[in-house]
Chains A and B, each alone.
Chain A
Amino acid sequence: MDIPVSEVKKELEARLPDVKLRAVGNSLLVENPDDLPRVALFLKENPKFLLDYLSSVTGADYLSYLESVYHLYSMAKKHGPVALRVRVPKNKARIPSLVTVYRSAELQEREAYDTFGIIYEEHPDLRRLFMWEDFEGHPLRKDYAQEDSETLEAADIAWLEARGVEVPPEMKEKAKALEAAGQRAVAQKPEKPRN
Chain B
Amino acid sequence: MTFTKNKSTSDPRLRGELAKKGVVWTSLDFLYNWGRRSSIWPMQFGLACCAFEMIAAACARYDIARFGAELFRASPRQADLMIISGTVTKKMAPQVVRLYNQMPEPKYVLTMGACAISGGPFIDGYNVLRGIDRYIPVDVHIPGCPPRPEALLHGLMELQKKIAAQEILKAEWYQKGLKREFPIPEYGPNGLIPKFNPEVWRPPQKDARRIHYGQTILVGKKLKAPDLELALAPKPAAPGAVA
A residues with CB within 8 A of B: 24-27, 61-64, 130-132, 134-137, 139, 142, 144, 146-147, 149-153, 155-157, 159-160, 163, 165-168, 171, 184, 187-194
Contacts and interface: CB of A to CB of B under 8 A. Distances in A.
Interface in B92-131: 124, 126-127, 130
Interface residues of B, number: 41
Contacts of B186: 159
A25 B191 contact: no
A194 B219 CA distance: 7
Main secondary structure of the interface of B (DSSP, over half): loop
B91 A137 contact: no
A194 B215 contact: yes
B177 to A, nearest CB: 13
B220 A159 contact: no
Contacts, number: 108
Main secondary structure of the interface of A (DSSP, over half): loop
Nearest to B234: A25
B39 to A, nearest CB: 34
Given A134-B188, A150-B203, A184-B190, A142 B222 contact: yes
Given A130-B91, A136-B189, A149 B217 contact: no
Interface in B213-236: 213-226, 228-229, 231-234
List the 9 shortest-distance A-B pairs measured between CB atoms, nearest first: A25-B232, A193-B220, A156-B194, A142-B222, A139-B126, A62-B225, A136-B189, A150-B203, A163-B183
